Structure 1
């Protein structure tokens, strides 16, 4: 996934969940769209370097969108939807192994009790329902965690994935890490114990879980490394190496 030309600035503040003020090099302060509804812990520090894209839609009230931030522990992409684009490219390019038997890919497919799978892979071997979660919550020693706030929606998605597992149907939860300082992933059970419990149950029922980190820089994003995942944090000395 490639960015066009991005505009650099400094974060003044993030507020009302969807808005942020950014100071440009010229001294002008502009209000931009913040495309992340989470807590954004560690990714919204005052004065941080940020990068913005500009929409071609002239009727937008706030034409700029906040894409990237330089944190104390690495570069991060705060645009959650970018995770889906990066993962789609990972499947279509064959970068994510183990899915060559499912060459057809659809996005936003209805399933379960009113949910939509991010992707449905299909082929002669059957189907794979895929749920993608963006990870930017960085903790001590390079540990990443999801979710960064209580997520009833995320727990519901786990139940839906669990319900479709059968002889010819796989279910995959893919944590897309959009933070270069993260080298392993776990559930944030201290933030949302219900999500962790549902995740453990889903894994026991056959839901597959993978974590992949993307290279993040102002030119674009690309999956470049599979990371270890466990429901609970992995000690730093046991971390995986890309």
Structure 2
């Protein structure tokens, strides 16, 4: 999935709140922005404290729409002291998966076809509903992973009551005769060899994920290949779950 807008390289200064960055343009091809400080919307509300370190590179795009409070949106950042790029847009995960489902590119979901996206069921809103030739349904939730430690992707990077609730509800869905459920953890970076729940950060989510797997919820992992030109779906990544009760 190529980036349709031109990206501008900046240096991260500070994060005044969850959804706002202040950056200093640092792109030699754009001298007209030199010595400015710009504010950019951050589409990822996670902590990102291991990534957003003052002085790190952040790539921005100009925002579209007259109602925006900021003229810029954050797109990518570079892992400090490394060349690895990380997507800062959590919505990109669902867009990549939607495209992959349409093209039948997710081999781990062979036999399933996309029926609808972003739909309501019960008291929750879900990412994708898939169907197969036997008329069965599969509820698929996608979780964006940005936190990586020693090539292990960890989710979440902050406590997520909503995430725990979703996983708990998926466990109930998977218990039906005609419905199945799955969670796909998508690391929006390429330096990942394994994905696991971040038990130290959110033990409740980890426990709910283990219980969901025990009831039949399929737990899958993928990583992405990220450059300043595009982000692409990468290969499968194994999932490790702590022992259950």
Does the pair score TM above 0.5?
A: yes
Which string of whole-angstrom CA distances, capped at 9 and with x for unpartnered residues, describes residues 161-188 of structure 1? 1111123211010001012222210000
Do structure 1's residue 153 and structure 2's residue 162 form an aligned pair?
Answer: yes
| Equivalent residue in structure 2 for 1:104, among 114, 135, 140 | 114
Residue ranges of structure 2 left out of the alignment (5+ in a row): 27-33
> What is the distance in 2 between the residues matched to 1:83 and 1:214?
9
| Equivalent residue in structure 1 for 2:49, among 21, 41, 45 | 41
Preserved CA contact (<8 Å) 1:133 1:173: yes
Residue ranges of structure 1 left out of the alignment (5+ in a row): 234-242
Preserved CA contact (<8 Å) 2:181 2:217: yes
Do structure 1's residue 183 and structure 2's residue 214 form an aligned pair?
Answer: no
Residue 41 of structure 1, CA deviation: 3.0
Preserved CA contact (<8 Å) 1:75 1:181: no
Do structure 1's residue 63 and structure 2's residue 64 form an aligned pair?
Answer: no
> What is the distance in 2 between the residues matched to 1:204 and 1:130?
17
Preserved CA contact (<8 Å) 2:147 2:153: yes
Which string of whole-angstrom CA distances, capped at 9 and with x for unpartnered residues, describes residues 196-223 of structure 1? 1111100000100101001111112111
Preserved CA contact (<8 Å) 1:41 1:137: no
Residue 100 of structure 1, CA deviation: 4.0
Alignment-derived partner of residue 37 in structure 2 = 29
Alignment-derived partner of residue 171 in structure 2 = 162
RMSD over equivalenced CA pairs, Å: 1.5
Which string of whole-angstrom CA distances, capped at 9 and with x for unpartnered residues, describes residues 117-173 of structure 1? 11111232311101110001111x211100111111110000111111123211010
Runs of 4+ in 1 over 4 A off after TM superposition: none
Do structure 1's residue 16 and structure 2's residue 25 form an aligned pair?
Answer: no
Q: How many residues align structurally?
A: 231
TM-score (norm 2): 0.90
Residue 8 of structure 1, CA deviation: 1.2
Residue 105 of structure 1, CA deviation: 3.0
Preserved CA contact (<8 Å) 1:215 1:224: yes
Preserved CA contact (<8 Å) 1:211 1:229: yes
Q: Which moved more, 1:54-63 or 1:80-89?
A: 54-63
